[in-house]
Amino acid sequence: MRTLTTAMIAMIACSGYAVANDTFLGVGIGWQQDKVQRTVSETSDAAHYQLRAGKVLEEQHRISASYSYKQDDFQWAGDKFDHTQHLALISYDYLQPLALQGKLAGYIGPTIGLASNKLDDRERTTFTWGAQAGLQYRLTSNWSVDLGYRYLDMDYNHRNNQLNHTHQATMMFDRRF
């Protein structure tokens, strides 16, 4: 997982083909909900933490690599379960200025990557894909804040545990260089 994340960050850092581009680093926190199924359906809700790096290309295109972590203990039919998740994702966003002389922009785009889920002491890494949308506000020329939503399809099915999808609502702070 670390090798994939390092490779994604290196790929983004070395892609300098656009006329106007800014490298950025970001940190975020948010709320995540996962639909977990066994014999009954349950949700695993907890805070998630995210780091990302990427490039803004020509002010309307953004490519990023991100790492996200979530850990949750939840009750299921009277038993306590642990759910830990690591996400390594590559995302593309199309940015569209909306108001305030371009300081407020909307974004939407696809994301793909790997999801490592540990449920009930059973860990498995699977391919994941999804989409995200949100708003970005440029605080200064170097700092911005994003409020976003991401949906990920998990397709995790291992020893009677299923994790079908993940919802994330995140606030990110980015620093452009």
C-alpha closest to that of 165 among 41, 64, 71: 41
* In contact, 161 and 120? CB cutoff 8 Å: yes
> What span, in angstroms and rounded, lies between the C-alpha atoms of 36 and 163?
5
Residue 4 Cα to chain centre, angstroms: 15
Q: In the numeric block, which tokens belong to residue 127?
A: 């391919």
Low-confidence ranges of the chain (pLDDT < 70): 1-21, 38-42, 75-77, 158-160
Question: Scanning the structure block, which residue is given the tokens 């299921």?
Answer: 76
In order of start, what are the domains of the chain with their CATH numbers?
2-176 (2.40.160.20)
Rg of the chain on CA atoms, in Å: 17
pTM over 0.85: no
